[in-house]
Structure 1
């Protein structure tokens, strides 16, 4: 069962809306007990150290740092968040950065924007508040894996996080990318097909199905079933 929550406004709205709107419009992803104006950032950081792959903790940290006007900690939160994404989910990353840009200085904002555009050469600079780097300054961004966090944080897991926060386009984009790299991954195919069906996105399904057939991918039966479903609606 897919669950839907409001997380982020669209790109056009973001260009017009920063400041309090960034927080007020998206609080539904957090529980009613979450008061981000008083959220203990240190507690969030501690939780991230123990569960570095928990997407919600990273989002809460960014919101809390923004609301409490902690620019250095906010920058560090973005660096750690981007290291979690590891180049995936750029749409979500851009939306978060657009919403928080008013709390970052020009250098911080430019660095993060260049990174998202793929134009930053080398590693993102970190500061004393960054927790997912091996050392503090000028080092590769590597996630320190907790004993309870040994599993790879793969395409499927991250896509399911996006689904949880209603980022369905980002989830489909990520799964399609994953399918190109792992064409025989049945669970990934099944999740992608479910999204096509739920979003009624026939055009996207057709494009991916044609590409998979052209590449002779080993497809699960769900592709033919969804093909019949879309064809049947036209009769």
Structure 2
């Protein structure tokens, strides 16, 4: 039984967005430069507090996508990443943030939101290497988002969310290389994706002209779960010969 003197803690709820895309064949994340305290002038993930007690968390994520990046959530892959609620994560008080992972191809140059001094795409490796430092616990949130993407493209069709409506096998391979941070053998990659029925399907007779011979175009197929999975090099399954 609760003590009658007990009062619920005052907790603010926020959303943070890990928005990933490929630019120049490298994995990039959208960062904003904070224009207000705390951490004024520091880089951070886009996000903000819920507008009011009646706003749904997912609705807040869609709103922040529009306000911070001029993006419509319906055109992105958007999924909840997790909740972050360490007591000291925000110097303003007890703040719990619900983080979302958003992925889309060819995203435009960002426009800073109302409380941001600037916004830009930055290579993920700049953050992971420490060259770019993030406010709050956003480096951990970004690391979790990237790891989620790395794991999911092994077992699901998420990699196609980084591609346009149609794409070549070489373009899909570059997604895997950028997200995993490894180089892949072209013939081996082609053999593996062709061994997963329904992962990608031909996009008609059209072909894209490259420096070499014309490349066939594909689009995402009906299968969401990949069987067998495309296991990243260096994982336990690979070492056991199950790649």
> Which TM class, normalised by the smaller chain length?
0.3 to 0.5
Normalising by structure 1, we get a TM-score of 0.32
